[in-house]
Amino acid sequence: MNVIMIFEMIGEVLAWYLEKYDVGGFKQYQDNGIHILPQRDMYEGKYIDSKSFFGLKPPFIFNLSEISSLDDIEKPELSILKDIYDVYTHAIQMYKTNIPLDAPSDKKLFRSSMGEADVQHMLNNYTYPEEFKLDSEFIERISANMNDDPEERDNYIWEFLKTHVKNKDSNGDPLYLQKTKIEPVPAPPTPPPAPRICISFNEAGVEYYNSKIKNKLHPHLIYTDKYFDIQSKTELEKDKYHYVLVQKPHIDKVPMISSSYNTVKTLCEEGLDIKDLVPRSSWMPNEAVIRPSDPKWGVKYDKETGLCKFTPAWCSEMGMATMIPGSYPGGTYQTCGEPMWETIAGFFITDMAARELVRMMG
C-alpha cells in the first residue's frame, strides 16, 4: 500500500467522522421546498380534512367562542381573554333573546311574540296530535333566528363588546379586537352574498392569543389575507395522505387558524434540537447548536407563505451562497441554492468541506 493510498484512506475516515458528527453544523439547514413545505401541507391538510367531516370549508377564521379551548382558561394570566369570551358569549345570548322586530315581513308575527329560544323550548317540551303537528323546518322558517340579519346581529354584538369588555384601547374599542366588514366575492350565476361583519382579534390580539398557548399541538392564529385549501390528496397507506395545498386570497386581513404555525415557526427560527443533529455521545453533550434566528442570520417565520424567510447570511453560513426562488400552488418563496462551482468542487472534496469553503469565503 503506497503513501498516497494511506492518505486517501485517512482523509475518507476523517471526512466520515466530520460529517457524521456534523462538525460544521450544516444539518441545521432545513430547505423550504424539501423539508418545510411538506410539513406545512401535512399539518394544514389534516386540519382541513378534519373540518370537512363536519361540512366546514376554508377559510377558517377564528371565532371568539373558541377562546374556551385554551387550557386553564380560568387562570388569572388569561383573565383578559376570559373576559372577552364571557362578554362575547353573553352578547350572543342577549341578541338571541332580544331579536329586533324590524325583520323580514314573513317573520314579523313570530318575532313579536316568540324568539328563537322560545321556539326551541316549544319543540322540546310540547307534543301535539299527529294531525296538528307542525314540521320543525316550517317553524324554523317562520320564527325569529339570530342569523336572519348577520350585519344587524354583528353590529349589536360589537356595541355590546364595546360597552362591557373591561379592557379598552385608546379609541375606546375592546382591547385586541376588531370589527371588519367583509364583502363576499360573488360566484355567478348565484346572486352576490350579503355583506357580513367579522368580529375577532386584530393583529395585536393574534400575537397576544398565540403567546398564551401552552399546548404545542394547539392551533395558532395568523393575521393574514390569505388561506389554504386542499388542491390534491393522495393516499400513501391506510389513513395516511400526501397533501398538496393551494393558497387563495381573502378579501381582508383576519385571524386565520393555522395548525402548522408552531411546528414550522420552531423549525425556521429555533431549528432542530441537538439530539436530532448529532449522535448522542458522552464526550459531546454540550455541542453548540446554530440557531437560525440568531441576529447574525436573521431567519424568521413567514406568515404570508407559512414557510421560512431565509437571508443571504443564513445561506452563506449553511454553505450555500445563493438564494433561489421556489413556488407552490398560489404562492412563491425563496430558499438556498448551491452555486455551480460548489457542485463541481463536491466531486473532488466532501460535501461538508465544500460547504465550509463557501462559509469561509462569506
Average pLDDT over every residue of 154-179? 93
SS (H, E, C) the chain: CCHHHHHHHHHHHHHHHHHHCCCCCHHHCCCHHHHHHHHHHHHHHHHHHHHHCCCCCCCCECCHHHHHHCCCCCCHHHHHHHHHHHHHHHHHHHHHHCCCCCCCHHHHHHHHHCCHHHHHHHHHHCCCCHHHCCCHHHHHHHCCCCCCCHHHHHHHHHHHHHHHCCCECCCCCECCEEEEEECCCCCCCCCCCCCEEEEEECHHHHHHHHHCCCCCCCCEEEEEEEEEEEEEEEEEECCEEEEEEEEEEEEEEEEEEECCHHHHHHHHHCCCCHHHHCCCCCCCCCCCCCCCCCCCCCCEEECCCCEEECCHHHHHHCCCCEEEEEEECCEEEEEEECCHHHHHHCCCCCHHHHHHHHHHHC
pLDDT at 9: 58
pTM value is: 0.77
Q: How confident is the model at residue 236 (pLDDT cuts 50, 70, 90)?
A: confident
In a domain, 310, yes or no: yes
In a domain, 307, yes or no: yes
Q: What cell does 328 get?
A: 407552490
| Greatest mean pLDDT among 120-129, 244-253, 343-352 | 244-253
The answer on pLDDT for 77 being more than 90 is yes
pLDDT at 189: 65
Q: How confident is the model at residue 113 (pLDDT cuts 50, 70, 90)?
A: very low
pLDDT at 273: 74
pLDDT tens track for 137-148: 655 555 567 777
pLDDT at 98: 75
Q: What cell does 272 get?
A: 432542530
SS (H, E, C) 219-245: CEEEEEEEEEEEEEEEEEECCEEEEEE
Number of domains in the chain: 1
Decide which of 129 and 351 is more confident: 351
Question: Which residues have CB under 8 Å from 218's CB, separation 6+?
Answer: 69, 70, 71, 262
In a domain, 10, yes or no: yes
pLDDT tens track for 294-328: 999 999 999 999 999 999 999 888 888 789 999 99
pLDDT tens track for 252-301: 899 999 999 999 999 999 888 766 665 544 444 455 677 899 999 999 99
In a domain, 212, yes or no: no
Whether the CB-CB separation of 208 and 221 falls below 8 Å is answered with: no
In a domain, 222, yes or no: no
pLDDT at 27: 74
pLDDT tens track for 197-226: 789 999 999 999 999 998 888 999 999 999
In a domain, 330, yes or no: yes
**Domain assignment of residue 314, given as a range:** 3-40+267-361
Average pLDDT, the chain: 79
pLDDT at 149: 78
In a domain, 351, yes or no: yes
What span, in angstroms and rounded, lies between the C-alpha atoms of 14 and 160? Answer: 70
pLDDT at 76: 93
What span, in angstroms and rounded, lies between the C-alpha atoms of 120 and 15? Answer: 75
Decide which of 93 and 196 is more confident: 93
Q: Would you tell me how many other CB atoms lie within 10 Å of the CB of residue 87?
A: 20
pLDDT at 321: 74
What span, in angstroms and rounded, lies between the C-alpha atoms of 322 and 316? Answer: 7
Question: Which residues have CB under 8 Å from 241's CB, separation 6+?
Answer: 45, 46, 49, 233, 234, 235
In a domain, 200, yes or no: no
pLDDT at 359: 65
pLDDT at 282: 40
